[in-house]
A and B are shown apart, each in its own frame.
Chain A
Amino acid sequence: MKHATTRQSGIRPGAPAMASLCLLLAGCGGGSGGSSSVCIQNKGSDTMVNVAQAWAEQYKRVAPGVDVEVSGGGSGVGIAALIRGTIDIANASRDMKPEEIEQAKKNTGKEPKKFIVGYDALAIYVHKDNPLAEISTEQLADIFAENGATIRWSQLGVTIPGGQDEIIRISRQSSSGTYEFFREHVLNKKDFKLGSRDMNGSKEVVELVASTPGAIGYSGMGYNEPGKVKMLRVAMRKGEPAIEPSVASTLSKKYPIARALEIYTLGEPAGEVKSYIDWIFTDAGQKIVEESGYVPLPAEARKK
């Protein structure tokens, strides 16, 4: 059937214009300079995602030519992306582990550089009607850690209005830096007891606690919703004074479960990334840390 049939001249291609795809490869990828807008890719900690968002929003006013792209996912997600060299800045609410730093060096040839950009007090939340006012980190470990003996509120001498006695543990997903920090500093690196409710965000923890009378959960101080949940005072050991989570108690290191909010870059930051990080260290950047409910750097650690 290869006979030439009468052909109409100029056969149009049947498919709709495929040429509509013109690739405008300017701007972001791999820090190419010289284009009208530069963008900084920023990914990581869910704890820090709101403060990172607020920085990005405000920085657009400071430097209109710079777009900062912010994503969450968890500290582990941000660090993994940094190791692969696909982002400029990783947000982390925990330190990079030595093996992660090794991987990053091997993969990209650059050493990750850490900046502490603020602090966060990890608050212990219970329902607003829960009569408990303070707790020690040992008691917390008994509640949350594998083989911990505490499973009922009555074991802590507490009666929950409404009669719910079982402790409902609210935890985080395992890629979360908050999860890692809590495991390391409260559970002494023991594993979590099975059967906790693992939330994907800091806000979700607080919301579930607010709607569950028998619940206890951990989340950043910045996520407090006064009137719906209660933050417990925390003591390092039983018998020691219990400290309320606050800016002052975090900076003075009296509050036992506070941590640094960190950002990592690959190697020494340069160009727009450096300007952005420098700006985070100014009073304007630190004011946003405070407004987001975290603890800003003390004056001597800031930049002019």
Chain B
Amino acid sequence: MFAETPFVRDKRRSETTAKWVFFAMAGSMILPLLLIVVFLFVKAAPSLRVDFLLDIPRRGMTEGGIWPAFVGTIYLVFISLAVSAPIGILAAVYLNEYARDNWLNRLINLAVINLAGVPSIVHALFGLGAFVYAARFGYSILSASLTLAIMTLPVIIASTREALASVPMSFREACWNVGATRWQTIRSVVLPNSISGILTGVILQVSRAAGETAPIMFTGAVFFKAVQKGDLFAYNLNEQCMALSMHLYTISTQVPGVRESVPFATAVVLLGSVLLVNAAAIALRAHMRARKKW
């Protein structure tokens, strides 16, 4: 064996140092998440019961549960994604599979990128003007969901394009060479091989749609609405609803005499449902990837 020369030793040491510095940065990402979760749970513990989820707010929102807000968030998220996912996926397929590099497609691309950079409060104002007033949907779940849909659309387009681009070009070429059209290729080769990535991208938007407060506050979320306890069909599309993010804001800033644990328990429910959905996305991805052939 060779004896280690000083030059090699120095190299090895700086390599080790560099590795640990990078690891420390990456590892420290766990810390905030862990702290947030632990802190929330400890603070929320006195209020965490099943009935907290199923009951409606009582006694001026200082007691009871959060059911109307929970159901409202489900409505908003589901409807907004039901609108934005098909549009976004189809748009991404066009941009990635059909679009040639010309001025019109460059313009579309630019629009998508810029739409993604619009702050949520601006989306809120747009939703208010476009859906509540111009389209005459009024303050409603419909207006709020459409506003959220527009907000999530560019990100769904971006993540779908990324998933489509990850399918190797050679797959498409092979398909074209046996005489298939573009649409046939997309249907039988591109989409099946990218569907896990596409779905993950869509599901990850759940957390974004569930967490936003500004867009729904302007267009269809209310401070309070009386619904039946545990009623899953509590709202119509043209009514307003409560939502978890907004409820968290209002009971923390507007309602006197709320027990300290209640806002934290609300936050636990919001974070918990989002993490659950994200976990489902991860599981789905793992399952689909296991079947991938390359």
What is A's interface to B at a CB cutoff of 8 Å?
Answer: 1, 5, 11, 14-16, 18, 20-21, 23-30, 39, 41, 43, 46, 49-50, 52-54, 56-57, 59-60, 67-72, 81, 84, 86-87, 200-204, 206, 222-223, 225, 291-293
The residue of chain A having its C-beta at the shortest distance from the C-beta of B225 within the complex is A69
Instruction: Report chain A residues within 8 Å CB of B61.
Output: 50, 53
Point out the residues of chain A lying under 8 angstroms from B253, CB to CB: 200-201, 203-204
Tell whether A14 pairs with B224 under 8 Å between CB atoms, given A28-B238, A292-B60: no
Give the residues from 240 to 259 in chain B that come closer than 8 angstroms, CB to CB, to chain A: 240, 250, 253-256
Quick one: given A25-B237, A84-B133, A292-B60, are A201 and B254 in contact (CB under 8 Å)?
yes
CB <8 Å contact, B256 and A225 = yes
Contacts of B222 in A (CB 8 A): 69-71
Q: Given the interface contacts A39-B239, A57-B224, does A222 sit within 8 Å of B256 by beta carbon?
A: yes
Given contacts A20-B82, A21-B79, A57-B57, contact A50 B240 (CB under 8 A): no
Q: Which 10 A-B pairs have the closest CB atoms?
A: A60-B226, A27-B236, A53-B224, A28-B239, A15-B86, A29-B238, A70-B224, A201-B253, A201-B254, A71-B222
Q: How close is A192's CB to chain B, nearest CB, in angstroms?
A: 21
Min CB distance A37 to B, Å, is 8
Task: Name the residue among B226, B239, B240 with the largest chain A CB count within 10 angstroms.
Answer: B226
Contact between chains at B187 and A26 (CB < 8 Å): no
**Surface stretch bound by A, among B9-17, B177-185, B272-280:** B177-185
Interface residues of B in 30-88 (CB under 8 A from A): 57-58, 60-61, 79, 82-83, 85-86
CA distance in complex: A24, B75 (Å)? 13
Asked whether A23 lies within 8 Å of B237 as measured between CB atoms, the reply is yes
Query: Does B225 lie within 8 Å of A70, measured CB to CB?
Result: yes
Cross-chain contact B181 with A1 (CB below 8 angstroms):
yes
B138 touches A86 (CB 8 A): yes
Where chain A touches its partner, the secondary structure class is mixed
Cross-chain pair count, CB within 8 angstroms: 122
- Check: B140 CB closer than 8 A to any chain A CB: yes
The answer to whether A57 and B60 have CB atoms under 8 Å apart is yes
* Alpha-carbon separation in the docked complex, A204 to B236 (Å): 33
Q: How far is the CA of A26 from the CA of B238 in the complex (A)?
A: 7
Chain B min CB distance to A68 (Å): 7
Residue from the set B58, B90, B224 with the largest chain A CB neighbour count within 10 Å: B224
In the complex, whether B227 has a CB less than 8 A from a CB of chain A is yes
Q: List 16 A-B contacts (CB under 8 A).
A: A14-B186, A14-B191, A15-B86, A15-B90, A27-B236, A50-B60, A50-B254, A52-B224, A57-B226, A67-B225, A69-B239, A86-B133, A203-B253, A204-B253, A291-B60, A292-B60
Point out the residues of chain B lying under 8 angstroms from A49, CB to CB. 223, 254
Residues of B within 8 A of A87 (CB): 139
Nearest Cβ distance between residue B22 and chain A, in whole angstroms? 41
- B side interface size, CB within 8 A: 42
Interface string of B121-144 (1 = CB under 8 A from A): 000000000001100001110100
Residues on B with beta carbons closer than 8 Å to the beta carbon of A5: 179-181, 184
Residues A46 and B239 in contact, CB atoms below 8 Å apart: no
With contacts A21-B83, A29-B140 taken as known, whether A56 is within 8 angstroms of B254 at the C-beta atoms is no
Cβ A27 vs Cβ B256 within 8 A: no
B89: interface (CB < 8 Å): yes
A174 to B18, CA, bound (A): 53
Whether A86 and B89, one on each chain, are in contact in the complex, defined by CB atoms closer than 8 angstroms, is: no
Residue numbers in A under 8 Å from B140 (CB-CB) = 28-29
Please, how many angstroms separate the alpha-carbon atoms of A291 and B236 in the complex? 32
Given A57-B60, A201-B254, A27 and B225 contact (CB-CB distance below 8 Å): no
- Residue of B85, B225, B237 near A16 (CB, 8 A) is B85
Can you name 9 extra interface pairs (CB under 8 A) apart from A5-B181, A39-B225? A18-B86, A21-B83, A28-B138, A29-B238, A56-B225, A69-B222, A70-B222, A86-B133, A293-B256
Cα A1 to Cα B176 with chains together (Å): 12
Residue of A nearest to B250 (CB): A72
Q: Which residue of B82, B142, B238, B250 contacts A27 across the interface (Cβ within 8 Å)? A: B238
Residues of B within 8 A of A20 (CB): 82
Which residues of chain B are near A84, meaning CB under 8 Å?
Answer: 133
Q: Quick one: closest A residue to B78, CB to CB?
A: A20
> In the complex, A50→B61 CA distance in Å?
9
Contact at A24–B236, with CB atoms within 8 Å? yes
Report the Cα distance A52→B255, complex, angstroms: 12
Question: Across the interface, do B60 and A53 meet the contact criterion of CB distance under 8 Å?
Answer: yes
- The CA of A72 and the CA of B225, in the complex, are separated in Å by 12
Pair B239/A27 contact, Cβ less than 8 Å:
yes
Residues from chain A with a CB closer than 8 A to the CB of B224 are 52-53, 56-57, 69-70
Q: Given the complex, which residues of B lie within 8 Å of A11, measured CB to CB?
A: 187
Assess the A71–B254 pair: CB atoms within 8 A. Answer: no
CA distance A60 to B228 in the complex (A): 9
Which B residue's beta carbon lies closest to that of A32?
Answer: B238
Q: Is the CB of B180 within 8 A of A59?
A: no
Known contacts A29-B138, A53-B61, A68 near B225 by CB under 8 Å: yes
